Chains A and B, each alone.
Chain A
Amino acid sequence: EIVMTQSPATLSVSPGERATLSCRASQSVSSNLAWYQQKPGQAPRLLIYGASTRATGIPARFSGSGSGTEFTLTISSLQSEDFAVYYCQQYNNWPPAWTFGQGTKVEIK
């Protein structure tokens, strides 16, 4: 099983500041990585797939980078609606066994 490790567990950021979230895979997943945002009481929402492609309707302040085992999600200027938990997910396994990171909570500083 590919283990996904996210850091930090909690990130305290002021509105308007930049947030950088990290995700590490226990073995290479190429660029087969997605990022999701989840707000309390809501379902996850797809933000990024293919490590760097924004999903439909996702604002340009969200960007993803990386390949292999190291990935980053950057939120360039945090808006109030961006405070949430963010999960990375790999989809490189065969047979499929999608695994998620444990999440990074972005909270208001």
Chain B
Amino acid sequence: EVQLVESGGGLVQPGGSLRLSCAASGFTFSSYSMNWVRQAPGKGLEWVSYISSSSGIIHYADSVKGRFTISRDNAKNSLYLQMNSLRDEDTAVYYCARVIVGATTYGYFDYWGQGTLVTVSS
């Protein structure tokens, strides 16, 4: 059974940093691209960042570019999101999601973790 379990969320002051983790199990993690997606309280879904299976291709949403860094450790079956210079508007539940990459597209998200809440507030 595919499982994705996020951790590392919490309360942080504006300008602070936080590192999220996503532990994967039930599939060959090193064969899949992964994403982070967030959802502000009561709002819709917003894609945050993408990393390919070998970490060779990385993309960020404009809203987090230069502040967030995605990485992965295939030996540990883990995905990470280092978040720096946090702002109030980064407050959200952060989900990791597995990507099914297509022949000509970056693909859709077939499995999601349960999410971890990040609250940025003074």
Contacts and interface: CB of A to CB of B under 8 A. Distances in A.
Interface in A23-65: 32, 34, 36, 42-46, 49, 55
Contacts of B115: 43
A46 B50 CA distance: 18
B100 interface: yes
Contacts of B111: 46
Interface residues of B, number: 23
18 contacts: A32-B105, A34-B108, A43-B114, A44-B95, A46-B111, A49-B100, A49-B110, A92-B105, A94-B106, A95-B59, A96-B59, A97-B47, A98-B35, A98-B37, A98-B47, A99-B47, A100-B45, A103-B45
B interface secondary structure, majority: strand
Interface of A: 32, 34, 36, 42-46, 49, 55, 87, 89, 91-103
A44 B44 CA distance: 11
- Does more than half of chain A's interface fall in helix, strand or loop, or is it mixed? loop
